[in-house]
Amino acid sequence: MTASMVHDSVVDVGRSRRRHVILHDPALLLGSVIVVSWLVVGAFGPLLLDHPPNAVTPDLFAPPSGAHWFGTDGLGRDVFSRVVAGARLSVPIATALVIVSSLVGALIGALAGYFGGWIDEIVMRLTDLVFAFPGVVLALAITAALGPGLQNATLAIAVLAWPPYARVVRGHVLALRNSEFVAAARLRGVSGRTALRREITPNLHAPVLVLATVDIGEKILLLAAISFLGLGVQAPAADWGSMIGEGTQNLGEWWIAVFPGAAIVTVVLAFNIVGDRVRAHLGGQQADTAKGAT
Amino acid sequence: MTTPALSVRNLRVSVGSGESEVEILRGVDFDVRRGEILGIAGESGSGKTMAMRAVLGLLPHGARATGSAVLDGRDLVGLSQSELRTIRGRHIGMVFQDPTTSLHPMLRIGRQLTDHMRKHLGLRRAEAERRALDLLDDVRLPDPEQAMGRYPHQFSGGMRQRIAIAAALACNPTLIVADEPTTALDVTVQAGVLALLRRLCDEHGTSIVMITHDLGVLSELCDRVSVFYSGSVIESGSTRDVMDHARHPYTRALLDALPDQGLDDLRPMVPIAGTAPSAADRPAGCAFHPRCRFATVPCQTDPPGPRATGPDGAEPHTFSCTVDPFELRSVVR
Amino acid sequence: MTATLDRAAGPAGAGPKRTATRRRPPVMRFIARRALSTSFLLVGVTAAVFAVSRFVPTDPVVANLGTEAAQDPAIVEAYREKHGLDQPLPVQYLTYLWRLLHGDLGQSIQTGQAVSADLAARVPATVELALAAMIIALLVSIPLGTVAALRRGKPSDKAVLGGTLLGMSAPSFWVGLVALYLFFFRLGWVPGGGRLSLEYVPPPSRTHLYTVDALISGDVALAMDAARHLVLPAAVLALPMIALLTRFVRSSILDVLGEDYVRNARAKGLGEPTVIVRYVLRAAAPQILTVVGLALANAFVGTLLVEQVFSWPGMGSYAYQSAIRLDFPAVMGVCLVITVAYIIINLSVDLLYGVVDPRMRVTT
């Protein structure tokens, strides 16, 4: 999923340089490899585990060893298995969440930008409103209202995830609507709406993509935070955020919290690196053309 | 004749290294005499701004300068940044193109006029402010007292440029470098700023280097002119000689590209074909030959050296062209 | 975390343009416009909170009376009438607003006290923590971002950028836990949680910030103890902010470094420290002010996740404890307070632009 997104971005950079870019940017390569590895772990990892992630054993609070690589928790469950099983939750959910909310947000933004007027006004005030709420707080409020659980947490995050996309896309649509090449398309006899769809859509891939890549990492963090607060994924399901929450109770047994946290860091960092590099490549190209003009 | 205020010899600026080394400035020579205004003309990218940045030690990252630039008997090329800091602002003042961006938008005028005075001249705050008031008066800014406490956006473009000139003049420098100081201004205030520069030059004996692509400014203001093309000086001499008897085809083309200024001169306006080469893919031989109407085979291989026009004027007038198509033509015409 | 980054992305991108497009509007009109949009936001935020609390699947009657009492129609009716729940929704909203204006945030199910009273006891602790975190974040990120900008593209710049990426990727509550394990459990350098050690009594209240109050009353030992308790949670809370703000400062400085007036300052022969501090940082000041506002706003939000780890008796741990016990009025109270604080901080930052940037002031 993510790999193909990265791929798309590179297509935007320039078809001829596509492979070139990803292979000649070690950071981008590393980030992509980590992201893909986590997706593979999430997909196939749980099938290969020696210990089922929810199996309770009498071996409580065992430190990391050959038998339990990451030790066991207060119920004797294997932390390694639970970390692997956790990859099945956070990463795909956050990715799906971002894909859906970016599409919805982009659509809303495009409509607002294209039609303008009161539609635009309403959409923009609505995004203002969502921006006024700190994300964690709104998610906390909604999950507290709807009741704890993964579904409600995801819903809460989704409610506040679309506005950045709507803003970015609206801005670009506004700029592009008045740009020369849309005017040129109109002159060729293409209708305004067709011109917008045909000429604007390809130009929106880059900004939305950059936003989305970094956003997946953020959503993983937010999801983990809500679960950490006990409002997200519920016991006994293995989730990184809730595992850290369990670790709060048992400070001396550091392995309970350290490993799921490290899992979050690696996957979020990987998404951030990919986002950062994609931005650098797309932005760098703009900078190059600007430089050429001087 | 006294020594020139600034004497530049064989100044070269290059960026990159090894294979990718590009020479932006290819060994230029010029003198700025005391109390004169030297015009440096050329298209953007010709190296005219780069030359003065090299003199000031303000080259962009990765650019290196060689050669010499002697100001008051001291070679500036190769000085350390800390040594250069005692010269910039003190012995060389700088006026930038756009006073809207060259003055700090959030600092009061008084501060921007005095901070380098206090550093270079060791003045106390009150002394520096007194001198700043005199300077503002000198550049004909109305109500200097009040102006000191104001911010740049509270002045018009022309007034801002006068303030920038006052700042350049603050430490009574030997030389002021003015980089297209009127380009960003309304046409109506350009003349006032030019007249101010001329008067300061005459009254204070300050030398001025006027970087411009505006030949009108050159002919009005400058005593002598050096024309840059693609990193070299291709023609230099007194303004009158260069404007009236241009010898290099490029200078000639520049003049032909100028819209007619008077009714008595009915030459057609001729644009220069092609574009100026970038330093990275400069043609061999004479850099101007692909655009030159008079180029011959040797022009494509042999870089022309400077030659004098002959002993017909008191001022030396040199140009770099092997063909010199105007040698005969100027007589015929 | 999401909102923090969104907000950061907003002003970061809009920052330079903002000053360019908003060409010195008359300051009164500017204030009026911001005040208007802020009041719109406040109405919207309270309406949203109200809507959430009215349309939740959990019936507020059941939530507040308990299941048993809710069985009795008479009690329910009496309750509805008493709390105006039989009124039409807009009236209910206005009643709700009226109560909010009088500081009535409802009653906590968990503590049985007024939420406003619970919060009043806890807000100072959060303010102290957030302010400390903001100060740490600014002290680190402004120099770090400046140095990175000046060394753009060099290994040190890349290391700083990589580090900030790492800082943005680590959940603060996890970092807090790891830090607590290392510095308290293993090394014993800091206390394990709370605001003060048991043997100390809180200083006489003036600012309600223990460190400041202790210093005012001249009790150095007490101030030291309070500071020792404060430093680790504040540092942990500061970490994601440092990551974000360092990038922000770096890009603000880079914007300014290319400006003509910086070249002009160098052409005037001013020393590099003078150029950086007086010209570059001064020009970046409005954007850095945004950073200060962001830092403070984010600190308040971040306390939600960090306080619990350090048993810090503030709003954050109150929200956590209320959330896990489904104490809905308390959670909504915290959300409202934090959101309003967030909005007001952002408004103040916008208004402070006028102080920092002379172009925003009234022109004569």
- Mark residue C289 as left, alpha or beta (left: phi above 0; alpha: psi -120 to 50; beta: remaining): alpha
Q: Is the pLDDT of residue C11 over 70?
A: no
pLDDT single digits (tens) A23-60 = 778 888 888 999 889 888 888 877 777 777 877 778 77
Do B70 and B185 reside in the same domain of the chain? yes
Between A180 and B202, where is the model more confident? B202
Residues A272, C169: C-beta atoms closer than 8 Å: yes
pLDDT single digits (tens) A222-261 = 999 888 888 888 878 888 988 888 888 887 888 888 899 9
Question: Within a domain: residue B289?
Answer: no
Question: Within a domain: residue B153?
Answer: yes
pLDDT single digits (tens) A198-208 = 766 777 777 78
Residues A144, C174: C-beta atoms closer than 8 Å: no
| pLDDT on residue B207 | 93
A115-124, A279-288, C83-92, C346-355: which range is least confident on average? A279-288
Total domain count, chain B? 2
| pLDDT on residue A4 | 39
Residues C364, B154: C-beta atoms closer than 8 Å: yes
CB atoms within 10 A of CB C46: 18
Rounded to an integer, the average pLDDT of C270-293 is: 86
What pTM was computed for the model? 0.80
| pLDDT on residue A114 | 80
Do B197 and B268 reside in the same domain of the chain? yes
Residue C361 pLDDT grade (very low, low, confident, very high; cuts 50, 70, 90): low
Distance in angstroms (rounded) separating the CA atoms of residues B323 and B320: 9
Residue A28 φ then ψ, to 5°: -60, -40
Q: Which residues of A touch C177 (CB under 8 A)?
A: 244, 247-248, 251, 257, 261
Q: Is the pLDDT of residue C348 over 50?
A: yes
Q: Which residues of B touch C363 (CB under 8 A)?
A: 153-154
Rounded to an integer, the average pLDDT of B231-244 is: 88
Last residue of a domain, one of B170, B191, B209: B170
Rg of chain A in Å (alpha carbons):
22
| pLDDT on residue C58 | 55
Q: Which residues of C touch A254 (CB under 8 A)?
A: 178, 181
Q: Is the pLDDT of residue A190 over 80?
A: no
Residue C174 pLDDT grade (very low, low, confident, very high; cuts 50, 70, 90): very high
Nearest to residue A181, comparing CAs of A207, A166, A203?
A203
- Give the neighbor-by-neighbor strand order of the sheet with B63-71: B22-32, B6-15, B63-71, B74-75
Question: Within a domain: residue C62?
Answer: no
- Give the neighbor-by-neighbor strand order of the sheet with B175-179: B92-95, B175-179, B207-212, B37-41, B224-229, B232-238, B318-319, B307-308
- The answer to whether residues A39 and A2 touch, using CB atoms and an 8 Å cutoff, is yes
Q: Is the pLDDT of residue C251 over 70?
A: yes
Looking at CA atoms only, how far is residue A179 from chain C in angstroms?
19
Nearest to A222 among C2, C184, C324 (CB): C2
Q: Give the CATH number, domain containing residue C182.
A: 1.10.3720.10
Relative to beta strand B318-319, strand B307-308 is antiparallel
Longest dimension (CA), chain C: 85
pLDDT single digits (tens) B267-293 = 555 667 777 777 777 888 888 888 887
Question: Within a domain: residue B302?
Answer: no
Question: Within a domain: residue C306?
Answer: yes
Nearest to A134 among C170, C177, C342 (CB): C342
Residue window 107-166, chain C: list those with CB within 8 Å of chain A: 161, 165-166
Question: Within a domain: residue B196?
Answer: yes
Question: Within a domain: residue C6?
Answer: no
- Mark residue A61 as left, alpha or beta (left: phi above 0; alpha: psi -120 to 50; beta: remaining): left
Do B149 and B214 reside in the same domain of the chain? no
Q: Which two tokens stand for residue C91?
A: 């009236």
Which range in B233-237, C199-203, C351-355 is most confidently predicted, on average pLDDT?
Answer: B233-237
Rounded to an integer, the average pLDDT of B213-240 is: 88
Residue B78 pLDDT grade (very low, low, confident, very high; cuts 50, 70, 90): confident
Q: Which two tokens stand for residue A91?
A: 């990463």
- Mark residue B204 as left, alpha or beta (left: phi above 0; alpha: psi -120 to 50; beta: remaining): alpha
The continuous run of DSSP H or E covering B295 comes out as none
Residues A140, C331: C-beta atoms closer than 8 Å: yes
Residues B119, C274: C-beta atoms closer than 8 Å: yes
Do B133 and B161 reside in the same domain of the chain? yes
Residue C320 burial (CB < 10 Å; 0-12/13-18/19+)?
A: buried
Rounded to an integer, the average pLDDT of C174-189 is: 88
| pLDDT on residue C22 | 44
Q: Give the CATH number, domain containing residue B214.
A: 3.40.50.300
Total domain count, chain C? 1
Rounded to an integer, the average pLDDT of C249-271 is: 89
Question: Within a domain: residue C20?
Answer: no
By residue range, what is the domain housing residue B144?
A: 105-170
| pLDDT on residue B326 | 64
Q: Which two tokens stand for residue A232?
A: 């997200």
Residues A261, C342: C-beta atoms closer than 8 Å: no
- The answer to whether residues B141 and B156 touch, using CB atoms and an 8 Å cutoff, is no
Relative to beta strand B224-229, strand B175-179 is unpaired
Residue B161 pLDDT grade (very low, low, confident, very high; cuts 50, 70, 90): very high
Establish whether the linkage from the previous residue to C26 is cis, with ω within 30° of 0: no
Question: Within a domain: residue C58?
Answer: no
Nearest to C185 among A224, A251, A257 (CB): A251
Question: Within a domain: residue C83?
Answer: no
Relative to beta strand B22-32, strand B37-41 is unpaired
Nearest to B58 among C259, C263, C279 (CB): C263
Do B48 and B164 reside in the same domain of the chain? no
Q: Does residue C49 sit at the A interface (CB-CB below 8 Å)? A: yes
Residue C68 pLDDT grade (very low, low, confident, very high; cuts 50, 70, 90): low
Q: Is the pLDDT of residue B266 over 60?
A: no
Please give the single-letter amino acid code of residue B220.
E
| pLDDT on residue A289 | 31
Average pLDDT of chain C to the nearest whole number:
80
- Mark residue B19 as left, alpha or beta (left: phi above 0; alpha: psi -120 to 50; beta: remaining): alpha
- The answer to whether residues B98 and B160 touch, using CB atoms and an 8 Å cutoff, is no
Q: Is the pLDDT of residue B265 over 70?
A: no
pLDDT single digits (tens) B97-149 = 888 889 998 899 999 999 999 999 999 999 999 999 999 998 889 999 999 99
By residue range, what is the domain housing residue C266?
A: 123-325+338-360
Between A59 and A285, where is the model more confident? A59
Nearest to A140 among C45, C180, C319 (CB): C319
Question: Within a domain: residue B309?
Answer: no
Nearest to residue B162, comparing CAs of B224, B217, B95, B235?
B95
Nearest to residue A143, comparing CAs of A234, A55, A215?
A234
- Could you tell me what percent of chain C has a pLDDT over 90? 19
Residue window 304-363, chain C: list those with CB within 8 Å of chain A: 304-305, 308-309, 319-320, 322-324, 326, 328, 331-332, 334-335, 338-339, 342-343
The alpha carbon dihedral of B290, B291, B296, B301 has a sign of negative
Do B81 and B24 reside in the same domain of the chain? yes
Nearest to residue B306, comparing CAs of B234, B230, B241, B231?
B234
